[in-house]
Chains A and B, each alone.
Chain A
């Protein structure tokens, strides 16, 4: 079953077409990554799915309802992290979680959420005194506190230190294993590679590629081989790395040499991404 179904979605701001007829599905229980450069239309798409913005065309179904018209019971099932932090500065972490938890019928315990997002030391400090990354963790906590089936995360780990990012990844994996469906936008390709079952790459309001990270990186068919020859760095791309390596190593051995600095690599998601988005 699809948790999210999008067909021919369009959104215009004045004369600027921010989203130009995109289609995608998010299956229940999967982590779906939405990638794309600044201004590609990620936030626009996510906020249409959250019910904040009205679309100009196409069909959208989120948990079986049109978010433009969905009400309280639908919001019980959806968690949200907005692109920019949105917190009361004069509540403590715990109070914020209790306040927002109180809006839901079956909330998670505040202490449990504090544990999950790793704010134990700051639980009774005012939000005003938190660092940017700590505020972001509380944003994530507020998205979890209602115990939702589906979570929208718009750049949830921007501003996290590497340790905090790993922790957040762990949290997202745990949520996934509990059956939560997650839509994630991010500028960190490693994050998408680590977390997403499938990704879509958005560029100027259109989806230019969609698939699992492995499909995207494997799909290009090319493997990169690097080595040094007579002191020069050589980079080759080949569709048949087995054959090419055999030739190279055979020739080297025949000359009684070693191939210095030999490296065989699949292109990373980042390289594919940069190619797709033309940056």
Chain B
């Protein structure tokens, strides 16, 4: 039987999704379900002076209106509200806690009614009076007050001095605005009141056990009384890593009424959750005339809220990608009257590498050196930040294969030198880098006598393909056809898994499945040995494999016993194993994924209309478990990178401290017409050091580098360098 791992296996949950069989958080029902409508603040900072809900309460069908004045009890201590992903420092937001307003669109009331329409109508009748205070939502207005957070990577040498002494220098700032995730599915929670204080919580989340622990600690519940389910998600992208306020509100409603409650955010309310923080990236890079990198300073100044310190690694990537003897990395945070930012696809890297790789391009221009050449000149075979080798780094191959597939050698380096009719043609490139993280995770396998296996784990599949790769891994590890594997995910009662994020789930969960399958094999072998004249009587555990529904000797396939025979003989109808897998603590090697992104843009010279006509993304990410779902991840990342480069921007009116494009008609993401040819290459990257399977994960790497590659291509086409995203046509109109 051929291995499933590494093949383009189609999604095992595809059918359930397109037929509507897959149920999402807002689709679960319960007798007497109550509907909650959320009311949010219109000011950015201050206090609720008066909140009169009497008119709303008088509406027929309204059961209650919860506010900070009458809500059920919830924990006071910050610690109780800190979920697994909460920033270390700060006091997490808790809805309806008190009269304080910390950001515009903060939830201030929950209207509970028999029907959704009644709740929504009654929500319009609330009479709220605020005591406003002066707010600040503009990063540029606050940047001087930004404070330094723990440095992401150690400085080396003397970057400012080396920069000053460099023969060729480039220094500038790049800006990324606030961006929102805009998943298709709205955040929603259906809390089913099971009686006796027990709750089943259907929540849109990337981590059911994280939400389970959060609900228990915030509402003082026993772990066995709260079960959280999120089997399918209509897009998470990091927005669902932390428990969002819909789940706290739905639980509050259920506790207040002792009934089942559903809360669904509106699209506009989605803009009151977390987001990619606006960030100013300041880069200073210096080289000698031949292009040898001497100095690199990367300082990032990012938004956080008044109540939590959220920061990710924007700087430091230059020390992972390149060899510069003098480096300095600084990360600052500016506090604004906004909600706390959160993770969004490749947090830190998507923004930081945009700055870094734009600056590298500008340096290449100043050096009159090919941008790929510049990167190869300072190519680093070691992670310079930690001074250690990589488990693997095939970035050189990414440059080579990407450039060849793209036709990079035909590029005329002169800006505005290439054209196609009325359009200027620009070719740009950038490197990408992300971490290859892995976490402890557990899995359960139930193998039945008919050769069917149920594989389960609390992990969420946020649409990335976790169901599918775990089915492939289990099928190979158990020697069964994939049709015989059922995967169950996204339930807090299943074996422990981390939140789904950081691209760590593929490595983490697949090794849990392998480890558990090994236990199944050990038990099968023990049982096989008890059979009279067993052909495996003296086989050792390391000598046998599971294949074709049998356990067999690695050395002699004729020495085999079928699973059915073993079960029949032992009188068992199933084998159940559960095992937690942990990766050995080893910081001797750096673990990273890499990419090289090549982009062609065509820009109408007179009208400024920008089209991204070709993208080649060459990715080195260890062993690819499923070439189809992995390529889809990269394509999705590239599409998002196009959006980040050309379209996405959450627009604030700082006078009101309010987001003005809180809907997906006005918040632009790319549409089909914006997407042309995208080619994904996975370069071969065997990695025996990182983990047993050599897997690294591909969720985030696809977006990293794309915005810079596009910005660089826009420069090459037009001669205009745009340093603030998004690159809209008015910025390139000559």
Is A bound to B? no
